[in-house]
Structure 1
Amino acid sequence: MQVAQRHKHILHFIPEAPKSISAKALRVKYQEDAGDITLRMLQRDLNELYDTESNMIKEKVGQGLFWSFEPGTKTSQLMTPSLALAFNMFAEYAQHLLPSSVNKQLQGQFNQAQRALTDPKLALWQSKIATAPPGFQLHKAEIDEAILNTIEQAIIDQAQLKIVYRNRPKNFVHHAAKERLINPLGLVIRGNVYYLIAHTPENQERAFVVHRMSSAERSYNEVVFPTDFNLQAFMKKGGGVFPTDEYVDLELKVDRNRGHHLLETPLCPNQTVSEFDEQYFIIKANLPVNHELHWWLMSMADFTEVIAPQSVKKKVIEHLKDAMSMYHL
C-alpha cells in the first residue's frame, strides 16, 4: 500500500480529544479495515504524521503514547495557507460576532490556523493590515461572560430567560433591578454595546442592554414566540435605540478648508456639491435623521451650518444653546 494511502487510513482512526487512542489499539482497527501493518511501521507513521499534522496531539500516559486531534479539527486536517490566513484574520476582526459555544467549537481550527500559516508572504500580510477606529470611541462596557453565554444559548434553543435587569436612571433616580421573564429573539451588537431583543409579557418587543443585566438563567416555561417577528425590520423601526428609516434632505454650508474631507468621503452615494463662494460650498444629501446625525452635526458646528431642513437646524441651535449654558455663556 502506498504511504499516502496508509497515512489516510491511520488518520481516519485517530479520534478528537478528549478521546485518544494508543498505537496498539489503532493497529487493531487498521488491520480490521485496511490490512496488515506492523506495530513498528505504525509507530513510525504516527511520528511522521505528528510532524506534519499541526492539529495532532501526542500524549504520554504511563509507559505508552496516546494520539488524538485537537477538538473540532479532524474534519479540516488539510488547512491551506490561504485558508489559515482567512481563519486568523476572522479570529482577529470578527470572532466576537459568533456565539461563545461556536467559538469554543472552532478554537481548534483557530489554533491550527496559527500554526499552519507557513507561507512567509501570507504570514507577513497580517502584520501589514490593521484597523483603526473612525474616531473617539467609548470603551466597551463590562459584560458577564456567563450571562452572555446563557443569552446566546437561549436564542439558539428558543428558550425563555429569567433576567435581573436595571433600567437606565431617569432624572437622577436610580431604579432597583427587577426580575423579568422574557423570550429572547435576537442579539444586536452596535458599536461597543450588546442589545438583547426580546418579547415581553406585555406582548411587546424591546431591546435590553446586556451590561445592565446582573443575572440570566434559562426558564423551562412553555414559550410562544411571535411568528411574524423579523430582527431587521425591528431595527429599521428603531426599537427605541436604533436608527430609523426616517430620512431628511439635509443641506449644509461647509467651510472649504476644514470640510474638504466631505468631498472625498461623501455623506451618502447621491450626495451633491455646489459652489457658494470662495470660502464655502454647499452639500445636499438624503440621510436618516437620528441621534447620530445630530451628534455628528454638533461635532462639525464650528465650520458647518445647517441650511435645511428647519427641523434639524432648530435642533442643532437648541444643542448649541445648551452647550453655551454649560459654560455660562
Structure 2
Amino acid sequence: MTSKKSTQETLTLAFEILKRIPRHKKVTAPELHIQLQEIGINRSIRTIQRNLEMLSEHFDLNRDIRSKPYGYSWQKVNKGLSANYLTPQESLLLNLAEQYLKQILPTNTLRTLESYFDEARYNLEHNPANTKANNWRNKIRIVSEAVPMLAPKVSPEVLSLISEALYEDRLLTVEYYNAEHKTQKATVMPLGLAQQGVRLYLVCRFDGFDNERTLALHRIKKVVVSTFSFKRPQDFTLEKYDSDGRFGFGEGELCSIEFMITKKAGFHLLETPLSQDQTVEECEKHYKISATVIDSLQLERWIRGFGSDMTLLHKIRDSNVHSTA
C-alpha cells in the first residue's frame, strides 16, 4: 500500500513538473519549486532537479547546462502537454474567456479552443484541488447599467460567416431588414464587430460609399462570403468609431452642455465626470455642471432620463469640432 501511494505521488510530481515546462522560454528548478509549493506540493529543490534530469531522458526536453541553475523547455517540434493538463489558473482564465468573450472571438478560434474550454470547465467543476478557482466564478460578474433584457436571437450560421469574413477581410453580401421592417440586400466591407449590452453589431462600409454604418446582427437574415478580399480603410479604427459616439447614434460632433442637477441625482458625476474639461459649481441644493461631450441620441436620452432632477441650461453644437479620441 505504501509503495502504491509512493508511486502515485512520484507520478503526480512528474506530471505537475511537465505541465509547467514551457515551450518558448526556460524554467529552472527553483522556479518550479515555488510554483509547486503554491499548489500544495512540497518537495526539495534537489528532488525536483532529479525529476528534471530523469524526465529529460524520456521526454523531448531541452536542458540548458550553460549556466546554473539549469533551464528546461520543450523542444520546438514538441507541442508539450495538451489541454488535459491545465492548471487551475489556466482553467479559470479559459472559462471566463468562454463566458465573456465567446460572442466576439473569431469562430475558427472558438472551434480550436473548444477542447480547451471543455477541459477547463471539467477541471474547475470536478477537481477538488480547483475549488477556490471554481468558486471565483461565483464571486464576479459584469453588470449592466441598463434595464436587463434578453439577447435577440442571432443565427449561428450568420455569426459564423460574418466572423469568417471579418477575420479574412473578405467582402460580404448581406440580406437584412431595417427598423421599418423593409428587407434590403447589399455588398459590404466588414470592418468590426461590437457588443453593446445584449446586442451584437457589424460595423461595415457599403459598396460604393466611403462612410461606415452599423448593422444589428439579429436583423441579418442571410450572408454570403465572397471569394474577393478587400483592403481595410487606413482611416478607420473601431476605437475611433466608438469614441465618436457612433454606437450612441452620434456622428462624432462635439457639443458644450451646461445644466443644473440635484445633488442626489448628480453626485455620481463628481466621481465619474462626463469629460476631462468638466467643471462643477456647487449650489445649495444643486450642482451646476458644464462639459464638452459627443452629441448623440444617446445623450438626449440620458438628459431626459433625469426628468425634473435636471434642468438643461444650454447645449451648443459645434459642427467644426470633432472627437479626436
Contact in 2 for aligned 1:235/1:243 (Cα 8 Å): no
Higher relative contact order (CA 8 A, sep 6+): 2
Q: Which amino acid is 2:168 matched to?
A: D
What residue number does 1:158 align with? 169
Match of 1:183 among 177, 182, 189: 189
Instruction: Give the corresponding residue for 1:108.
Output: 115
Shift of 1:130: 2.4
Structure 1 residue aligned with 2:158: 147
CA deviations over 1:139-190 (Å, ceiling 9, x no partner) = 3222111111011111222222222222332xxxx53x23323332322323
Question: Unaligned stretches of 5+ in structure 1?
Answer: 12-32, 36-71, 313-329
Partner of 2:23: none
Q: 1:73 to 1:235 in 2, by over 3 A?
A: farther
CA distance in 2, matches of 1:73, 1:210: 39
CA contact (8 A) 1:273 1:282 kept: yes
Structure 1, 209-218 or 136-145: larger mean CA deviation: 136-145
After the TM superposition, which residues 41-190 of structure 1 pair with which residues of structure 2 at under 5 Å, given as runs? 75-117=82-124, 118-169=129-180, 174-175=181-182, 177-190=183-196
How far off is 1:138 after superposition? 4.0
Question: Which letter does structure 1 place at the counterpart of 2:194?
Answer: V
Secondary structure in 1 matching 2:113 = helix
Q: Which runs of 5+ in 2 are unaligned?
A: 1-9, 20-56, 60-78, 319-325
Matched, 1:276 2:283: yes
State the match for 1:199 in structure 2. Answer: 205
C-alpha distance in structure 1 between counterparts of 2:229 and 2:134, whole Å: 49
The partner residue of 1:300 within 306, 311, 314 is 306
If the length of structure 1 is used for normalisation, what is the TM-score?
0.63
Distance 1:76 1:239 in 2: 40
Given candidates 287, 296, 320, the residue that maps to 1:290 is 296
**Could you list the per-position Cα deviations for residues 79-132 of structure 1 after superposition, in whole angstroms to 9, with x for gaps in the alignment?**
222222222222222322212322222121122222333333332222222232
Residues 137, 293 of structure 1: alpha-carbon distance in 2 compared, 3 angstrom cutoff = farther
Asked if 1 retains the 8 angstrom alpha-carbon contact of 2:161 and 2:223, the reply is: yes
- Please state which structure has a larger fraction of its residues in strand: 2
Q: Which amino acid aligns with 1:253?
A: M
Contact kept in structure 1, 2:174 and 2:223, CA below 8 Å? yes
The 2-side partners of 1:6 and 1:311 are apart by 68
Is structure 2 residue 229 aligned with structure 1 residue 219? no
* 1:58-80 deviation digits (Å, cap 9, x = unpaired): xxxxxxxxxxxxxx995444422
Name the amino acid aligned to 2:273: P
Amino acid at match of 2:293: L
User: 1:249, 1:287 within 8 Å by CA — same for their partners in 2?
Assistant: yes
**CA displacement 1:261-306 (0-9 Å, x = unmatched):** 33344334553322222x2221223322211111010001211111
Q: How far, CA to CA, are the matches of 2:254 and 2:176 in structure 1?
A: 33
Alignment check: 8 A CA contact 1:236 1:244 kept: no
Contact 1:236–1:243 (Cα < 8 Å) also in 2: no
Residue pair 1:199, 1:225 contacting (<8 A) in 2 also = no
The secondary structure found in structure 2 opposite 1:230 is coil
* Change in 2 beyond 3 A, CA 1:73/1:158: farther
Q: Secondary structure at the match of 2:137?
A: helix
1:252 aligns with 2:263: no
Which amino acid in structure 2 is aligned with residue 83 of structure 1?
E
SS in 2 for 1:289: strand
Mapped contact 2:187–2:207 kept (Cα < 8 A): yes
Q: Report if the CA contact (8 A) 1:183-1:225 is conserved.
A: no
Rounded to whole Å, the distance in 2 between the matches of 1:239 and 1:126 is 33
C-alpha distance in 1, partners of 2:115/2:80? 6
User: Residues 82 and 273 from structure 1, CA distance in 2 versus in 1: closer, same or farther, beyond 3 angstroms?
Assistant: same
**Residue 61 of structure 1 corresponds to which residue in structure 2?**
none
User: For each residue in 1:240-260, what CA deviation from the matched residue of structure 2 results, as whole angstroms up to 9, or x when unmatched?
Assistant: 865443333322211123433
Aligned residues: 246
